[in-house]
Amino acid sequence: MRDGNAAFADLLYHTGMRRTEGAGLLTFEVPNGEFSSRLVRGRVPAALSKGRPQRGRVMYLDRPTQESIEAYVTGAREVEVRSGQASGRYESDKAGLIVEGMSRARGVPDKVLSSREA
């Protein structure tokens, strides 16, 4: 939990995102493009954006913050997910959401194709 909380706090502090915006991001929506400067550009999805519900809004992420989020996702979070899978925690969720794909516009996630488990 500690690594996840630190990564979440870093994300909110360094991007200026609201708590609900940061909490609703999927892992692949966190910007991870090439850093041509100090910052990488990303987009808060329209469904999460309070101020711009039509298009979402632009956010900028610095390299140390992106690296701390990536370290959490590939480290502690992966261990937690594997533990949940081994214990059967996810099988009891009858309304599971399956992300089947996504499209990107200029490197930023644009649309997500998903379905519900039957």
Residues 117 and 94: their CA atoms lie apart, in Å, by 7
Rounded to the nearest 10°, the torsion over CA 43, 69, 1, 56 is 0
How high is the pLDDT of residue 116? 73
Evaluate whether 10 touches 68 at the Cβ level (below 8 Å): yes
pLDDT for residue 110: 67
- The mean pLDDT of 100-106, rounded to a whole number, is 72
Specify which residues 1 forms β-bridges with. Answer: none
Higher pLDDT, 11 or 115: 11
Query: Per-residue DSSP letters for 25-51?
Result: --GGGS-----SSSEEEEEE-TTT-SS
Residue 9 is predicted with a pLDDT of: 92
Residue 80 has pLDDT above 60, yes or no: yes
Q: What is the pLDDT of residues 38-56, one digit of tens each?
A: 888 888 887 787 765 677 7
